[in-house]
């Protein structure tokens, strides 16, 4: 897993065509403005860039990352692409891999994440019983990259994309994401949630071409390990 280098905090544009824009979202920047509020957000920044060529252009959100996480994110640039991506996201997002720094040492080199998640308030999820009303099954797996200083760097591969899936499931097995007090983390080594969407492979909504986008995690993921 390579290091990102000095781009922490910047929006990086990875791909642009007539239907989609792919960027790297920095930690701390919301995808959209808070409800009823204003302020700097990624959707507006992408739209501003599109309007340099077309004053009527508008980006559209098709999936999200938590405000305090970072990594690869896709926007649609027209109604047709938006509809296809939103309706068929599970089929078109063929590979989603995250770099995640968690607390503690792992007892294995890899493992599965398979549980049911249900809301536990307005902005938190909990592990639920199979088939419980309102619960959705969340599936994925993890592989250990390296350990150090009481932390473990994992690569998490998602099969489903439930709200707070990675955060809730890793906390449930005793390894909360560093910098995530909402799910029980006791450490904050870099002043941010240590979760980064490193790889996204999607099937283009119009051309059906398979596209792969990568964003290496920031240096703080490695320096927290003493690497």
**DSSP secondary structure string, 90-145?**
HHHEEEEEEEEEEES--SSSEEEEEEEEEESSTT-EEEE-TT-TT-EEEEEEEEEE
CA angle 103, 214, 169 (to 5 degrees): 30
Residue 66 annotated among the catalytic residues of the structure = yes
CA distances from 157 to 100, 166, 180, 198, 206 (A): 11, 9, 19, 10, 26
Of the listed 19, 66, 87, 219, which one is catalytic? 66
Strand pairing partners for 193?
Answer: none
CA 115, chain centre distance (Å): 19
Q: Closest Cα partner for 17 from 198, 211, 201, 197?
A: 211
Catalytic residues: 66
């Amino acid at each position: 897993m390579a290091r990102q280098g000095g781009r922490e905090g910047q929006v990086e544009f990875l791909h642009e065509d007539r239907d989609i824009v792919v960027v790297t979202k920095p930690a701390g920047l919301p995808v959209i403005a808070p409800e009823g509020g204003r302020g700097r957000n990624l959707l507006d920044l992408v739209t501003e860039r599109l309007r340099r060529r077309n004053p009527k252009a508008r980006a559209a959100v098709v999936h999200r990352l938590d405000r305090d996480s970072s990594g690869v994110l896709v926007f649609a640039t027209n109604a047709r692409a938006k509809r296809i991506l939103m309706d068929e996201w599970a089929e078109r997002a063929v590979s989603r891999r995250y770099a995640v720094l968690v607390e503690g040492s792992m007892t294995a080199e890899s493992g599965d994440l398979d549980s049911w998640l249900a809301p536990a308030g307005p902005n938190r999820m909990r592990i639920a019983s199979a088939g419980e009303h309102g619960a959705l099954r969340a599936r994925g797996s993890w592989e250990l990259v390296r350990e150090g200083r009481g932390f473990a760097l994992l690569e998490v591969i998602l099969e489903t994309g439930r709200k707070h899936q990675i955060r809730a499931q890793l906390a449930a097995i005793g390894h909360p994401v560093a910098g995530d007090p909402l799910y029980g983390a006791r450490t904050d080594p870099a002043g941010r949630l240590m979760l980064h969407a490193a790889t996204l492979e999607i099937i283009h909504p119009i051309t059906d071409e398979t596209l792969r986008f990568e964003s290496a995690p920031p240096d703080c993921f490695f320096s927290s390990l003493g690497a």
